[in-house]
């Protein structure tokens, strides 16, 4: 068979491409290596009834995949560590229909105009390859708006004083603020920061045929049982409802077949282990910033920079216990964020100068609590103290925390390549991640960590503690692997084939019909979760491919809703 496009991956990027291309009349096949636990196969407008409020299933037993025993990755901090120091779970984003959208709690901020042009505005950083994006905020803005309306984002336009200009409001108002966040937002404001309701892809009102979120609290790392989270359910439902898209779960694309400057299709290993070839006029790769370079390497689509500039967000966590319960098990996991620590101030400039850096940037700060008792219990020691600690609950029921998604600069030494000997259960080489934070990330974290702790103290915290991920443990500890699942940058986008792997439309340089439609193409990592930006970029790439973009400022493909 031959289709207009094969799309590799059913996460936010691939689902966006499928939605835009099918709306333009294209026939597509979405190939997803994980299972379908998202959509009822008999009625794609309904949830599959597989998701649930079950900590064991989602946090302990790999329900969303990938299972590290059959689909491991490997990790090392640098070549000096040898071939690898960790085999298993490394920067895993779900391997399931819906991809990373299934487990995310749906915070979907836009980047700001400055984030696309750091080199122009701030200049270079020694050791890093900071570059400007070939696409700016103004060009991306209509696609951001389209993404917010097609996924369904609840937010408050104008609430963030640092935000870029918008051509349309959010389609829904914010959901209810979590109790703990009302305390932390007030404390942050007293200290001069500017918290605002997190733009969230969870319905605050019924929208696009899906119900409002009912605040169950099993959000971050859990699939939504009622499809209140729109990313990428809304996109997939519409694409599949067009009648022009097929979804193939449990199917692994092992190779893109290339002849000269053109891809002719892909090889797909099906659920029964047999391989078949599918012809395609275009191949859209949206497997995430670790699996996408892996597939391109498996396909011999090599480029000296392929896999380089991996960025993950160096996270700084400030935590403390309040004298009261914070009720973080109720609501959307995170309802407030602030951007002050990306924007910077005089103190940040002084800290950078004192460390010999030209500048530094932190990241968006999430106001968050803790909700999961198994995870909590495993952090306490065993023995007679255990029941008392669980009842007193300093690190769950009374915990509050700030998580800064620190902007990783792009370094050539942080990369994805193929592990020389570790294989997945299908027999293919797995992705190896080589990653360590650079001086910029460490200095930014050391500058902002105590300032985050100071907000907790202002809230009345009994104690505070600041840590980072990755931590500073030994190389073979899982703690050496970054907690962040915000993988970006391994197929850098740019105009010059000597310094980038993909062109400004997402096409691989030198290949006419392979388009990368995920966060692999990011040039820098900003300090924001990548989802909305990758959705906007994927929509732009698909519109350009189909000749249908850019969209009108007034969103057309979703029925209007209150907001």
Partner residues linked to 103 by β-bridges: none
- Name the minimum Å distance from CB 389 to another protein: 9
- Name the minimum Å distance from CB 293 to another protein: 21
Distances (CA, A) of 192 to 189, 320, 348, 381, 561: 5, 20, 15, 38, 35
- Name the minimum Å distance from CB 422 to another protein: 6
Choose the binding region for another protein from 211-219, 361-369, 404-412, 518-526 (rule: CB under 8 A): 211-219
- Name the minimum Å distance from CB 241 to another protein: 22
Question: Is 506:7 a contact under the CB 8 Å cutoff?
Answer: no
CA distance 153 to 172: 6
User: β-strands 39-40, 73-76: how paired?
Assistant: unpaired
Residue 191 as a binder of another protein (CB under 8 A): the answer is no
* Residue from 54, 89, 139, 267 binding another protein (CB under 8 A): 54
**Between 54 and 114, whose beta carbon lies closer to another protein?**
54
In the block, tokens 């896999």 appear at 307
Residue 47 as a binder of another protein (CB under 8 A): the answer is yes
* Residue from 246, 250, 446, 458 binding another protein (CB under 8 A): 250
Number of residues lying near another protein (CB under 8 A): 63
**Between 346 and 391, whose beta carbon lies closer to another protein?**
391
- Name the minimum Å distance from CB 30 to another protein: 18
* Residue from 264, 393, 457, 505 binding another protein (CB under 8 A): 393
Residue 388 as a binder of another protein (CB under 8 A): the answer is yes
**Between 186 and 556, whose beta carbon lies closer to another protein?**
186
Residues 55-84 that bind another protein (CB under 8 A): 55-57, 60-63, 67, 69-70, 72
Choose the binding region for another protein from 6-14, 45-53, 290-298, 520-528 (rule: CB under 8 A): 45-53
* Residue from 243, 272, 300, 547 binding another protein (CB under 8 A): 272
**Between 218 and 359, whose beta carbon lies closer to another protein?**
218
DSSP string, 366-425: EEE----HHHHHHHSPSSTHHHHHHHH-TTTTTEEEEEEEEPPPP-TTSEEEEEEEEE-T
CA distance 482 to 308: 17
- Name the minimum Å distance from CB 359 to another protein: 38
CA distance 154 to 169: 10
* Residue from 257, 330, 349, 509 binding another protein (CB under 8 A): 330
- Name the minimum Å distance from CB 472 to another protein: 22
Question: Is 440:448 a contact under the CB 8 Å cutoff?
Answer: no
CA distance 493 to 131: 10
Would residue 83 be called left, alpha or beta, if left means φ above 0 and alpha means ψ between -120 and 50 degrees? alpha
* Residue from 190, 261, 276, 386 binding another protein (CB under 8 A): 386
- Name the minimum Å distance from CB 204 to another protein: 9
CA distance 119 to 524: 10
150: Cα within 13 Å, side-chain hemisphere: 31
Q: Among candidates 435, 437, 453, which has minimal Cα distance to 341?
A: 453
301: Cα within 13 Å, side-chain hemisphere: 34
Residue 52 as a binder of another protein (CB under 8 A): the answer is yes
* Residue from 116, 218, 314, 522 binding another protein (CB under 8 A): 218
Choose the binding region for another protein from 96-104, 289-297, 386-394, 398-406 (rule: CB under 8 A): 386-394
- Name the minimum Å distance from CB 315 to another protein: 23
- Name the minimum Å distance from CB 136 to another protein: 38
CA distance 343 to 232: 30
Would residue 528 be called left, alpha or beta, if left means φ above 0 and alpha means ψ between -120 and 50 degrees? beta
CA distance 36 to 276: 20
* Residue from 163, 168, 422, 561 binding another protein (CB under 8 A): 422
Secondary structure of residue 465 in the 3-state scheme = strand
- CA–chain centroid gap for 120, Å, is 26
Q: List the x/- string, 451-490, binding to another protein by CB under 8 A.
A: ----------------------------------------
Is the bond preceding 427 in cis, omega lying within 30 degrees of 0?
no
Residue 177 as a binder of another protein (CB under 8 A): the answer is yes
- Residues shown for the chain: 563
- Name the minimum Å distance from CB 424 to another protein: 8
CA distance 448 to 405: 11
**Between 82 and 260, whose beta carbon lies closer to another protein?**
82
Residue 46 as a binder of another protein (CB under 8 A): the answer is no
* Residue from 13, 101, 225, 470 binding another protein (CB under 8 A): 225
**Between 218 and 522, whose beta carbon lies closer to another protein?**
218
Q: Which two tokens stand for residue 31?
A: 């190939």
**Cα dihedral sign for 292, 7, 515, 278?**
positive
Choose the binding region for another protein from 191-199, 281-289, 373-381, 520-528 (rule: CB under 8 A): 373-381
Residue 276 as a binder of another protein (CB under 8 A): the answer is no
Q: Which two tokens stand for residue 329?
A: 């098990």
Q: Cβ atoms within 10 A of the Cβ of 217, count? A: 19
Choose the binding region for another protein from 109-117, 305-313, 325-333, 542-550 (rule: CB under 8 A): 325-333
* Residue from 12, 331, 369, 506 binding another protein (CB under 8 A): 331
Q: Among candidates 201, 207, 228, 234, which has minimal Cα distance to 216?
A: 228
- Name the minimum Å distance from CB 253 to another protein: 15
Q: Which two tokens stand for residue 544?
A: 């350009």
Q: Which residues of the shown chain bind another protein in the complex (CB under 8 A)?
A: 35, 47, 49-57, 60-63, 67, 69-70, 72, 87, 175-179, 182, 213-218, 225-226, 250, 271-273, 325, 327, 329-331, 373-374, 376-378, 382-384, 386-388, 390-391, 393, 397, 422-425, 427
């Amino acid at each position: 068979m031959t289709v207009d496009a094969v799309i590799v991956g059913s996460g936010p990027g691939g689902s966006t491409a499928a939605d835009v291309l099918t709306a333009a009349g294209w026939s597509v096949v979405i190939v997803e290596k994980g299972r379908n636990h998202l959509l009822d196969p008999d009625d794609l407008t309904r949830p599959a009834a597989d998701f649930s409020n079950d900590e064991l299933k989602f946090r302990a037993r790999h329900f969303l995949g990938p299972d590290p025993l059959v689909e491991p990755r490997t990790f090392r901090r640098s070549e000096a560590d040898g071939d690898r120091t960790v085999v298993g779970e490394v920067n895993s984003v779900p391997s399931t229909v819906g991809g990373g959208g299934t487990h995310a709690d749906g915070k979907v901020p836009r980047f700001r105009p400055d984030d696309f042009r750091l080199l122009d505005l701030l200049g270079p950083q020694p050791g890093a390859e900071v570059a400007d994006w070939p696409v700016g905020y103004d060009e991306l803005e209509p696609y951001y708006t389209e993404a917010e309306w097609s996924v369904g984002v609840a937010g408050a336009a104008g609430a963030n004083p640092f935000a870029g200009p918008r051509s349309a409001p959010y389609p829904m108002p914010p959901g209810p603020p979590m109790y703990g966040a009302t305390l932390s937002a007030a404390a942050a404001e007293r200290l001069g920061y500017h918290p605002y309701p997190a733009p969230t892809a969870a319905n605050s009102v019924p929208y696009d045929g899906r119900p409002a979120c009912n605040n169950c609290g099993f959000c971050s790392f859990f699939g939504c049982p009622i499809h209140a989270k729109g990313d990428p359910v809304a996109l997939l439902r519409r694409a599949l409802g067009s009648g022009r898209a097929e979804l193939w779960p449990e199917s692994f694309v092992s190779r893109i077949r290339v002849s000269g400057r053109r891809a002719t299709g892909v090889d797909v290993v099906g659920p029964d282990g047999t391989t078949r070839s599918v012809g395609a006029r275009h191949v859209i790769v949206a497997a995430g910033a670790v699996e996408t370079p892996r597939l391109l390497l498996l396909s011999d689509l090599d480029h000296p920079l392929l896999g380089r500039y991996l960025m993950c967000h160096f996270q700084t966590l400030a935590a403390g216990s309040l004298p009261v319960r914070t009720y973080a098990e109720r609501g959307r996991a995170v309802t407030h964020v602030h951007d002050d620590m990306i924007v910077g101030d005089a103190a940040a400039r002084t800290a950078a100068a004192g460390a010999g850096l030209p500048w530094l940037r932190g990241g968006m700060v999430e106001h968050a609590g803790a909700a999961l008792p198994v995870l909590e219990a495993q952090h306490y020691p065993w023995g007679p103290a255990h029941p008392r600690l669980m009842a007193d609950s300093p690190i769950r029921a009374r915990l509050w925390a700030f998580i800064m998604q620190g902007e990783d600069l792009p370094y050539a030494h942080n990369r994805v390549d193929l592990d020389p000997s570790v294989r997945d259960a299908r027999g293919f080489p797995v992705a190896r991640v080589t990653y360590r934070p650079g001086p910029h990330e460490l200095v930014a974290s050391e500058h902002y960590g105590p300032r985050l702790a100071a907000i907790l103290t202002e809230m009345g915290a009994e104690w505070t503690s600041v840590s980072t991920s990755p931590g500073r443990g030994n190389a073979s500890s899982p703690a050496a692997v970054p907690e962040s699942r915000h993988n970006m940058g391994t197929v850098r986008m740019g105009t010059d084939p000597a310094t980038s792997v993909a062109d400004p439309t997402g096409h691989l340089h030198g290949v006419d019909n392979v388009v990368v439609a995920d966060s692999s193409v990011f040039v820098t990592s900003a300090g924001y979760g990548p989802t909305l930006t990758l959705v906007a970029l994927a929509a732009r790439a698909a519109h350009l491919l189909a000749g249908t973009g850019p969209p009108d400022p007034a969103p057309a493909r979703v029925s209007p809703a209150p907001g």
